[in-house]
A and B are shown apart, each in its own frame.
Chain A
């Protein structure tokens, strides 16, 4: 097995025992990028020299003592809507082409402090608005399991990179499913922490009441280690809840070893009623087998009644688009980003936004502006906010009776590139199982639960109580160890290099 196909904790052991070097790990990853990036397009920016000189300094011990953190030497990809000082952060949009933020996001600086090697910036749907990574202004990312299919979105570049060995771990962001869906489609682990576990300082805003930075990794243990590093208050995001992430925040050199957990005495709620229609047969079969795995670990599977997820999707797309229309007002060609010149300031803004924002972003701005406009506010935004309350209460009270709720992450296996591009509503409905926990701010994780007959990855989503992120990881790890699908890697992808094309 190549170094780039190993997990972070395996690499940490090899590095700790001096069986390999940071440079060898980075070389292996960059070699894989050379092999597959021409096909996959997982990255928007990747600066080799920067990576090479960083690992050289690490191997030579030219860094200050005490910097050998739990992710020492681990190459990490960062979704391109998370700010990196001195590395372009484009949000996959023409309007931010070439934009270099003056600061690092808190999550990024914490990864660097833990010794991680920042590889580059991963492709995504423009501003996080999409479920397939086809809405990137720089072209779609392809699924490493079948390049004719989408990797899911919006963090598709992050998920494809981790699945294909172009990164060991990656950060994504999840507003309504953007970490979990691509993790499911690419056969990797993707966690959206509780709203309030990770600081969003430096995450470009989309739907502020739901945006969270999440982790995409090859297994639950890597996901946990990375979350431990990035979680906790930092004084720059008042929505961080000090009770959620701080306790387990990385404090020193030791890599925490997690042990397998039995699920005896634990219960899992499944909304069987909501799964009756609209579920692909293979997803259903695989999900039923996954439930048997959970039962074999001693967990009790209980049927629970939840509000039909169709209502959650509708409420989500009203609220997210309203918040997006407000957040996107900052792209006016004045403070940063690109400008298209005109005689008047109004015309300058109109030209700039109309020409440089992509079609899906414009559609969402339109929807949000409409839903917030005088005469429609009550009908859409206010009503959606009431439904959000119901969805939240429903999940909260269910999670007082069961430890976790489980559903498939996506209703279908990964779909073909282009299949849903002409039908935005169909694209939205891909998020049918991921929006409800996002509306409620709950921690949730997508785990590989098998492959379809066409050898396409399928994922199960476990949802935990508010703030119970670490307990959710315990349950997820128990499932992973018993199910054993986290070792699966996609078949070799051909391609040639276009990395660093920007």
Chain B
């Protein structure tokens, strides 16, 4: 699976990453090699197998009773925010 620079840049923008020109080169090379290895998956006939997103759960999910509980006390959950204004997350302008 050959990747080109434009594809890599597109994927980077989807992932909110920016690669400088040197990183772009090495990313292109590394992703190419790794994806080549992953093409191995084509060799195995898996057409009859259902896709498996998680391991089988013989006992089902272990959900707790739907009873209200106290969460983190005020301010604790937000205290690590890089920019907090009156208890709210503050970010740069979203709309131009």
Chain A residues with a Cβ under 8 A of chain B:
99-103, 195-196, 209, 233, 235-236, 238-243, 307, 310-311, 314-315, 317-318, 325, 332-339, 341-351, 353-354, 357, 359, 362-363, 365-367, 369-371, 373, 380, 382-390, 392-393, 396, 424-425, 428, 440-441, 466-467
Contacts and interface: CB of A to CB of B under 8 A. Distances in A.
B46 A338 contact: no
B58 A336 contact: no
A449 to B, nearest CB: 27
B68 interface: no
A425 B82 contact: no
Contact of B27 (A196, A318, A366): A366
A301 to B, nearest CB: 27
B55 interface: yes
A243 B59 contact: yes
B72 A103 contact: yes
Given A311-B41, A392-B56, A425 B63 contact: no
* Size category, B interface: 35 or more
Contacts of B6: none
A466 B59 CA distance: 12
B54 interface: yes
Nearest to B33: A425
Contacts of A307: 44
A386 B38 contact: no
A369 B15 contact: yes
B62 to A, nearest CB: 5
Interface string B81-96: 1110000010111101
A318 B41 contact: yes
B79 A392 contact: no
A332 B43 CA distance: 38
Given A311-B44, A366-B27, A317 B58 contact: no
A350 B16 contact: yes
B17 A99 contact: no
Contact of B79 (A102, A367, A383): A102
Nearest to A315: B41
A366 B17 contact: yes
Interface in B12-34: 12, 14-19, 23, 27, 30-31, 33-34
Interface of A is mostly: helix
Contacts of B18: 350-351, 354
A345 B46 contact: no
Given A363-B30, A366-B8, A369-B14, A345 B91 contact: yes
Contact of A240 (B53, B62, B79): B62
A382 B46 CA distance: 10
B92 A370 contact: no
A339 B96 CA distance: 21
A365 B37 contact: no
Given A336-B81, A392-B55, A373 B14 contact: yes
A238 B82 contact: no
B77 interface: yes
A370 B10 CA distance: 9
Nearest to B63: A238
A366 B49 contact: no
Contacts of A344: 92-94, 96
A366 B12 contact: yes
B15 A241 contact: no
A4 B72 CA distance: 37
A393 B14 CA distance: 35
Contacts of A350: 16-18
A36 B17 CA distance: 38
Nearest to A332: B16
Contacts of B11: 366, 369-370, 373
B2 interface: no
B41 A314 contact: yes
B80 A441 contact: no
13 contacts: A102-B80, A318-B41, A335-B81, A337-B82, A343-B93, A344-B94, A349-B16, A353-B15, A363-B27, A383-B41, A387-B44, A389-B52, A441-B55
Contacts of B34: 317, 367, 424-425, 428
B41 A362 contact: no
Interface centre among B53, B63, B82 (most CB of A within 10 A): B82
B85 to A, nearest CB: 12
Nearest to B10: A373
B55 to A, nearest CB: 3
Contacts of A242: 59, 62
Nearest to A347: B92
Contact of A241 (B43, B50, B53, B57): B57
B4 interface: no
A243 B35 CA distance: 39
Contacts of B76: 102
B18 to A, nearest CB: 5
Given A307-B44, A387-B41, A392-B55, A370 B61 contact: no
A337 B80 contact: yes
Contacts of A349: 16
B82 A333 contact: yes
B44 A390 contact: yes
B40 A390 contact: no
A325 B17 CA distance: 12
Interface centre among B43, B76, B77, B91 (most CB of A within 10 A): B91
A341 B63 CA distance: 40
Contacts of A373: 11, 14
